[in-house]
Amino acid sequence: MLSLSGFEKKYPSGFEVVIPQLDLPEGIHLILGGNGSGKSTLLKALAGIHPANGEVLLNGTSLSSQPIHYRRKIGFSAAEPTFPEYLNLTDLITVVAKAKQSTHAEIAELTTILEVGEFMTYPIGGYSSGMLKKSALMLAFLGKPELIILDEPFTTIDAQTQGQLVRLICQRAKEGTGFLITSHQSGPIELLPVMSVLHMRSGKLATHE
Ligand SMILES: Nc1ncnc2c1ncn2[C@@H]1O[C@H](COP(=O)(O)OP(=O)(O)OP(=O)(O)O)[C@@H](O)[C@H]1O
């Protein structure tokens, strides 16, 4: 599914994430590690949001040489999502659904599962942190991406939505979607059928079980 070779992402501060080689087959992969170990840095680079060096291939599509094609295949939900405050979630869904060829049925299903229907027509500037996270999750799943990258997906959402999200991840994984997930919350991730766990320390992969 996803392969990295010679991956390097360095900030001007000197902090860097370095992964010489990594091959992840289809499935759910957890990335764990302490605060500041580099998890979000890695995920943002793999989502194509932050530039990085090295080769990243998603089912043969290259992030560096086919960036638009690559990014269409990815869904990403940030740990602390931000969106233009004057738009609403319906606006964002319209744009992303068109770009990723999502169906009305999928939009309706995700609207119900993630319980965004009540606020999706209100301006984003008035959303709570949980509403922002639900919005980011909705956009990440739209269009059945080949790989969905979720950075702290269980923070700020209520217990009921956490349960719904676990079921949604399991359902999509069964259908062949790959997942990279970070979480400091152990409860929900213990319910996931995880293929591998990667531990990060100081910008490096310490272990891969
Ligand atoms: N945009 C940025 N510019 C410069 N340095 C950054 C930036 N984002 C993160 N860092 C630094 O990179 C290091 C790793 O941060 P990162 O957010 O990737 O860690 P993390 O493992 O996701 O942490 P946490 O568990 O606290 O979310 C930290 O030292 C952080 O200060």
Q: 131 near 119, Cβ under 8 Å?
A: yes
Whole-structure pTM value: 0.96
Does the beta carbon of 36 sit less than 6 angstroms from any atom of ligand 1?
A: yes
**CA–CA distance from 13 to each of 9, 10, 156 (Å)?**
12, 8, 29
Q: Is 54 left (phi over 0), alpha (psi -120 to 50) or beta?
A: left
- Of all protein residues, the one whose alpha carbon is nearest to atom 5 of ligand 1 is 11
Q: What angle do CA 16, 18, 21 make, to 5 degrees?
A: 165
* Nearest partner of 30 among 134, 184, 144, judged by Cα: 184
From 100, 122, 191, 199, select the one nearest 153 (Cα to Cα): 191
Q: Is 39 close to ligand 1, i.e. is its CB under 6 Å away?
A: yes
Distance 120 CA to ligand 1 centre (A): 30
DSSP summary character for residue 14: S
Kindly report the protein residue whose alpha carbon is nearest to atom 4 of ligand 1.
11
Summarised one tens digit per residue, pLDDT across range 111-131 is 999 999 999 999 999 999 999
pLDDT in tens, 143-198: 999 999 999 999 999 999 999 999 999 999 999 999 999 999 888 999 999 999 99
Q: Is the CB of 185 under 6 A from ligand 1?
A: no
Which residue is closest in CA terms to ligand 1's atom 28? 36
Can you tell me the distance from the alpha carbon of 106 to that of 142, in angstroms, rounded to the nearest whole number?
A: 7
CATH fold, domain 2-208, is Rossmann fold (3.40.50)
**Residue 38 near ligand 1, beta carbon < 6 Å:** yes
Ligand 1 in reach of 15 Cβ (< 6 A): yes
Q: CA triplet 77, 4, 34: central angle to 5 degrees? A: 55
The domains of the chain are located at 2-208
| Separation of CA 16 and ligand 1 centre (Å) | 10
Q: What is the pLDDT of residues 2-52, one digit of tens each?
A: 999 999 999 999 999 999 999 999 999 999 999 999 999 999 999 999 999
- ipTM value > 0.90: yes
CB 13 less than 6 A from any atom of ligand 1: yes
